[in-house]
Amino acid sequence: MILGACTALLTELLSLGHWLRPVPLAVAWLAMGAGGAVYLHRRPPSFQRFAIRLAEAALTAAIACIVAVVALTAALSAPNSYDAMAYHLPRVVYWAQSGSVAFFPTSYFTQISLPPLAEYAMLHTYVLSGGDRFVNLVTAAAFAGCIMGVSCLAMALGANSRVQALAAFWCATLPNAVLQASGAKNDTLLALWLVCAVYFAVRRNLWFLGLSFGLALATKSTAYLFAPPLLAAVLAVQWRAGRRPRWGAIALALAAGALLLNAPQYGRNLRFSGSPLGYDSPYGHGGPYRWANARFGWKPLVSNALRHLSDQLGDRSARWNQAEFHAILRIHHALGIDPQDPVSTWPGPPFTPPVLTAHEGSANNRWHLLLLAASLALALWRAGHRGGSVWLFYGSGLLLAFLLFCFYLKWEHSAARMLLPLFILGSPLAGTLLAAIRPAPVTVLVCVFLSAGVRLPLLKNWTRPLMGPHRVSVTARDEQYFMDMLPLNNRTWQLQAVDLAARSACLSVGLDVRGDEAEYPFQALLRARNRAVRFLHTGVENASARYYPAEVREPCAALCIDCAGNPAKIAEYRAMGKPVVLERSLLFLKETGGGNP
């Protein structure tokens, strides 16, 4: 948490002077490392001796193997999930080249307005290493932190070491967690901060509670939906146990943590959109692409909950998937709900039968979900026993967080990734169920079953496989950027565009992008050929156009994605000459080349 806070504060401070450069960053981190070493030398931590039973040691060894394989995958692979190509990494590129996290002109507002902490950490590795070689390790480290964090949280909630080990193992074997942990998404990092927030709420440590809450809000906006029910559940446990929470102090700590780490981004968003959270859509106000449900009520809530549960229960069996899909449709029709209602459905692929995939965006945790439901039932049955209400309150907090998520946000085809923090936070509750199973060999069999279920995500990640013809050990890094976009067939023309732009010796390249186009592969591959090249979005006519510098030199090259056959775009860039047609995109090159942005 201290590293996370230092990353956020250091980024904002250096950004003020456009000092997000290799030397200032290196000096700052060396100074903080030296300060930390001096502190630990003067006040060395004390460790309590403990014994590890054989079963717990076996679980620990299995967890270590999973984390090692995930870290290896992250180290060998280029970042390549579509979201990373469309907004996570492009924002890093624009920040790095300007030395500042100030807003910039873009047609895709997620690049500037969404919470930036995960990308701040990626930015530091990007600037210090000169590329994206270590970007994936940010998420891999967060995954390891989640595993340790849920063990600590289980202990804080009163669990013994057996439950701790099982909770950690549960977290490590979540298929979606394993898939995301080697990539560049931010759900795993959000899960880490939420685990910390709940842990310090249980420990009644207000300083770190506020800090972890602020870190969560600075990482992903779903924290605004997940954190309140979870923290309320923990505080309800304390109130029921007679440990009256200090409501005023808690509110002050949460507000202080949120403002300390989010005030700069809040301010930028306020000036940009009038809201501290930015626009309610990637493209501005209104329209079908609003993240929130167009209308709130019980029907969107029930529909979204049913569809999310359906997505989580997909199996290899097509027959099962069809049967489950038709059952969900029958429930919708019985309640008078349209399962494809645009009020609660994100534009894109419609609601269809679930599938079992090894893709980080849509992979489910079906067996973990069923066990988690059984854990909640066990907590309900034990509620009357001594200490049993703790787990009932905690499970209720998880359930309320899920329902709040369904109540507010539209269902979308690849939303499984966004529910990962709730599965990770469910680890301590699931650990109590696994520990309660009798006879003990049945618990061993369940753990073996969960281990078998994580083999496919570990070894055959759809975008970063360790096995198969496209495994990361033999696939060139240039090709890895396109692994999540194979159906789009955009690799060939982007490589041609990179080659032509590099041979032109142009240092100022415009990108005319409409919507969430994956622009990062072009940026990464061109920078690999010439690190002096700079990028600028051109043709921007929305609210972010105000962020164009006062004096902007016209770029000497411009890639207009999906512009072929568009006379208006050809006319807009006529001064640059006749374009090179690359399938459905156009590349404009000035004959002289060269120049600075």
pLDDT digits (tens, 9 = 90+) for 265-307: 999 999 999 999 999 999 987 778 999 999 999 999 999 999 9
The residues, any chain, with a CB within 8 Å of residue 570's CB and separated by 6 or more, are 563, 579, 586
What pLDDT is recorded for position 387? 59
Closest CA to 73 of 137, 124, 121: 137
In a domain, 219, yes or no: yes
Strand order in the sheet with 508-512: 534-537, 508-512, 557-560, 585-589, 580-582
Q: Is pLDDT at 39 greater than 60 in this prediction?
A: yes
Report pTM: 0.95
In a domain, 238, yes or no: yes
The boundaries of the domain holding residue 545 are: 489-589
In a domain, 46, yes or no: no
At 16, is the pLDDT very low, low, confident or very high (cuts 50, 70, 90)?
Answer: very high
Query: Residues 194, 147: contact at Cβ < 8 Å?
Result: no
What is the number of domains present in the chain? 2
Looking only at the bridges linking them, the beta strands covering 585-589 and 534-537 are unpaired
Q: What is the mean pLDDT of residues 121-140?
A: 97
Give the residue, 550 or 557, on which the prediction is more confident.
Answer: 557
Q: Per-residue pLDDT tens for 88-109? A: 999 999 999 999 999 999 999 9
406-440 residues labelled b (16+ CB within 10 A) or e (exposed): bbbbbbbbbbbbbbbbbbbbbbbbbbbbbbebeee
In a domain, 254, yes or no: yes
Q: What are phi and psi of 536, to 5 degrees?
A: -150, 135
In a domain, 327, yes or no: no
Q: Per-residue pLDDT tens for 405-418? A: 999 999 998 899 99
Q: Per-residue pLDDT tens for 342-357? A: 999 999 889 999 998 9
Q: Per-residue pLDDT tens for 296-336? A: 999 999 999 999 999 999 999 999 999 999 999 999 999 99
Q: Which amino acid is at 507?
A: L
Q: Is pLDDT at 205 greater than 50 in this prediction?
A: yes
What pLDDT is recorded for position 195? 98
Whole-angstrom Cα Rg for the chain: 25
In a domain, 9, yes or no: yes
What pLDDT is recorded for position 384? 67
Q: Mean pLDDT: which of 18-22, 280-284, 554-558 is highest?
A: 18-22
Task: Mark which of 227, 248, 273 sits at the end of a domain.
Answer: 273
Q: Per-residue pLDDT tens for 507-537? A: 999 999 988 889 999 999 999 999 999 999 9
Report how far residue 100's alpha carbon sits from residue 93's, in angstroms, rounded to the nearest whole number: 11
For the chain, the average pLDDT equals: 93
Q: Is pLDDT at 551 greater than 90 in this prediction?
A: no
Q: Is pLDDT at 597 greater than 70 in this prediction?
A: no
Query: Residues 306, 328: contact at Cβ < 8 Å?
Result: yes
What pLDDT is recorded for position 50? 77
Closest CA to 325 of 343, 311, 304: 311
Q: Above pLDDT 70, what percent of the chain?
A: 98
Q: Mean pLDDT: which of 42-51, 163-172, 353-362, 561-570 is highest?
A: 163-172
In a domain, 144, yes or no: yes
Task: Mark which of 273, 293, 309 sits at the end of a domain.
Answer: 273
Task: Mark which of 247, 273, 299 sits at the end of a domain.
Answer: 273
What pLDDT is recorded for position 339? 95
Q: Is pLDDT at 554 greater than 90 in this prediction?
A: no
Q: Is pLDDT at 549 greater than 80 in this prediction?
A: yes
What pLDDT is recorded for position 594? 42
Q: What is the mean pLDDT of residues 132-148?
A: 97
In a domain, 466, yes or no: no
Q: Is pLDDT at 592 greater than 60 in this prediction?
A: no
